[in-house]
Chains A and B, each alone.
Chain A
């Protein structure tokens, strides 16, 4: 039976979908009964600590572990020698020559960033393992570090990876529309150099692994908090040269991720090697300093932008050269340098775009798919550019945005790169957000405030949160990459007592999948969410999975729910077949309600448990040809196509949620400090399954954006390559005092591409980076200050003010 038929036959009613029910996972989490990796204890377990490099770039001349080995309590030590025995280098997704890049779970021959693991110790206590690390002698030959993408491209720059022969690991030019014509027709060309800084996910729970190798069965069980472990499964299997049926991955409750926990496979392997060498289970819990140094950062990017514009603010085309500093290893890169392709023209409707994209390795910590991955950098760049277009033309930035937005009647809209924006009304969302901060009133008051020496400014921005990615986009990095599409698997069964159980291959860490799955399933079966049990956590032996499984890229409401709906319908169909036989009725005349299947409009019913009894124990009574049991699997596949490699276009994501943000800030000219006076968000993620959860994601991504815009930055010393923001003392994680109240309102533009009209939500693309930059620029517009960096802490603003004042004198 085809899908369309299925969904026509079983339309999903909306009793629970759309209702803000209380999260099912919370009772355990508010009572201290959550189970995170660090809470797991296995008999005979050892504790690990890692020795990390103090240098950003150095040759490893010698490692002597003999003193450490003698420390009572130390059981095993792993260094590069062991890793080379156990592992092959990780496969890379870049074209030659960078595909030669050697990457392991520990530094081999050379360290390439300060904080890179050099040795791992397993001991009977964590404190002993740490003491042992201090007894390991490593002789380094320090090399000059390269700490800047542009420096790294110079011919005499030190090479991060000699085997590659260049620090430029990927370069590609994408040309859409007729850029030259656009520039020839322009009234004005605006040029800008912009810098998007490094910050990170910084979840409250750091990376954690418990590895348990069972010599009897040869099975390696890895408990971890990786948020995309089944992507890692292939890497681990290939690098270990171990069949994946012998690897079992379990994720219990996870304490946040924000993308930073995608790349922890290096730790999963390193701790596994320790466990195999020690012959005992080993637990490792990263400490905060380690997490900040190498817990993965976002892509740092420098942009050289030119915009061709008409006098009235119409944007004709954009050319941008981007330099992505991806840190010391590629891991998931250069995907982050490519993902602008999902939002190539952002919310705007210009057709002509040329992107000259460069991914560059340096001696900084590795980057990862941090919330808003690859898109924020681009969207922020577009936003800065559009605002400068307005300011340099003497127009109002908000008017220029509204003028250039894709219009609601143009949806679904095909962007220059071939991505289809599914639905939405950008102008209305922005206007609504502006109303929520009393825009007109502030604009009216602003001149007077300026006269009083108060620098108050208004900013507004709209970013898309593209969700459910098409993996085929990586073929635009290298045509031979064997990935494409997107899929999710769900398994569902009714047990003998008529209870419904669901297992879905995701790794939630705050997104409350147990709750939303119960809501969707409850609607299909006419029960309540309490009647549905969603198997918590993830266990690769229990939960069905595909190579795309995981919790990342704003998509569970689409891909995960797609799999759940498919399974629910299959199960419902089977139950209906058996019930029809029992009730001597036609399946299409049945309805599901309150744990029973009834003939519509009658009181002839059979209870779920009665159907289940036939399926499980009384199977001679089953109708002809019906297989006993009530257990189904469904794998959802996203309706994508392969990219056009000639034109370099791809339908890169299925859904486009978006958020419009508006804010009012005041800049203190004496200190450079920015105070947020009002903050409002309008969110549109299509049909929300649980409005509580959506709102929570909106709050969180807004805070992430405020944190990035004003507080957090991984600052490195240019000379020594040391990370200067190495504790929460210097990496400024905002508290309840820094984050203002965030007003949220919603719009609902159902996605035409998903069954329930849902869209992925979660990344939110950190819109405050755009809105706050705009508001600061607006506040300081009497001084003509131009914001060119995504990070605007007091000292930067203070300096800009002073420079501007000097120029004016």
Chain B
């Protein structure tokens, strides 16, 4: 076992720190060390997207990043999206449009949608599909996820 090192970073606007080994994945660091379990693990091979977070303004699959690489980073996870008990419009849209079932993929879907809409506030259906291509969902057939993202884009443009 290699020596552990302290990692400092900002998560959901709060400065946090914790210890990690060189091999510790960022997703494990976020879940196990920082205790933010809203970010999920569905494969740890970079396919499923359950672990998607926003790191320095860009969506990343946090199982594909080492905790060490997040030193000093600014991270947004699903827990940081709702402000003062008020849901983010994307969250509202997922709720209203039944954009989830088991909810396991959902934090990743919402974070990917967040990134997509931050770059492209008025995406076409095709662009939504491309934007969420990296996020698997087994429950919804994607139909209501796409609907939710469309609805979120509308809400946010108001």
Is residue A442 within 8 Å, beta carbon to beta carbon, of the partner chain? no
How many whole Å from A523's CB to the nearest CB in chain B?
21
B5-39 vs A, CB cutoff 8 Å, 1 = contact: the mask equals 00000000000000001011000100100001111
Whether A696 lies near B144 (C-beta < 8 A) is yes
Q: A30 with B91: in contact, given A703-B142, A736-B129 (CB under 8 Å)? A: yes
Q: CA A204 – CA B47 in complex, angstroms? A: 11
Min Cβ gap A20→B in Å is: 8
Interface hub of A72, A736, A742 (most chain B Cβ within 10 A)? A736
List, in ascending order, chain B residues with CB within 8 A of A742's CB.
141, 143
Q: Check A736/B146 contact, CB under 8 A, given A30-B94, A31-B38, A128-B1.
A: yes
A255 touches B103 (CB 8 A): yes
Check B96 against A38 for contact (C-beta < 8 Å): no
Which B35-55 residues sit within 8 Å CB-CB of chain A?
36-45, 47-48, 50
Encode contact with A along B129-140: 1 for CB under 8 Å, 0 otherwise: 110111111111
Q: Scan residues 285-310 of chain A and give those whose CB is less than 8 A from a CB of chain B.
A: 285, 287-288
Cα–Cα, bound, A288→B104 (Å): 14
Residues on B with C-beta less than 8 A from A26 are: 94-95, 100, 103
Check A25 against B98 for contact (C-beta < 8 Å): no
Docked CA distance A735–B145 (Å): 12
Contacting residues of chain A (729-743) with chain B, CB-CB under 8 angstroms: 729, 733, 735-737, 739, 741-742
A34 contacts chain B at the CB level, 8 A cutoff:
yes
**In the assembled complex, how far is the CB of residue B59 from the closest CB belonging to chain A, in whole angstroms?**
15
Neighbouring B residues of A206 by C-beta, 8 Å? 42
A residues near B138, Cβ cutoff 8 Å: 201-204, 256, 258, 700, 703-704, 733
- Chain B interface size, under 10 / 10 to 19 / 20 to 34 / 35 or more: 35 or more
| With known contacts A205-B42, A736-B132, A739-B142, A27–B104 Cβ distance under 8 A | no
Are A285 and B98 closer than 8 Å at their CB atoms?
no
Q: How large is the interface on A (under 10, 10 to 19, 20 to 34, 35 or more residues)?
A: 35 or more
Given known A-B contacts A32-B78, A512-B101, A739 and B95 have beta carbons under 8 A apart: no
What are the residues of chain B within 8 A of A741 when measuring CB–CB?
Answer: 125, 143, 146
Asked whether, in the complex, the Cβ of B43 is within 8 Å of the Cβ of A30, the reply is no
Instruction: Return 25 A-B CB contacts under 8 Å, by A number.
Output: A25-B103, A31-B87, A32-B38, A32-B78, A72-B1, A73-B1, A127-B1, A201-B138, A204-B50, A255-B42, A255-B102, A255-B104, A256-B104, A287-B43, A288-B43, A510-B139, A511-B101, A696-B140, A699-B143, A703-B140, A727-B45, A728-B45, A728-B136, A733-B138, A736-B128
Interface residues of A (CB under 8 A from B): 20, 22-23, 25-36, 38-39, 72-73, 126-128, 131, 201-206, 253-256, 258, 285, 287-288, 509-512, 692-693, 695-696, 699-700, 702-704, 727-729, 733, 735-737, 739, 741-742
B→A interface (CB under 8 Å): 1, 21, 23-24, 28, 31, 36-45, 47-48, 50, 77-79, 81-82, 87, 91, 94-96, 98, 100-107, 110, 125, 128-130, 132-146
Q: 13 new A-B pairs (CB below 8 Å) besides A253-B102, A728-B43, A739-B142?
A: A26-B100, A203-B104, A204-B136, A204-B138, A255-B103, A288-B44, A510-B102, A692-B98, A702-B141, A727-B47, A733-B138, A735-B134, A735-B142
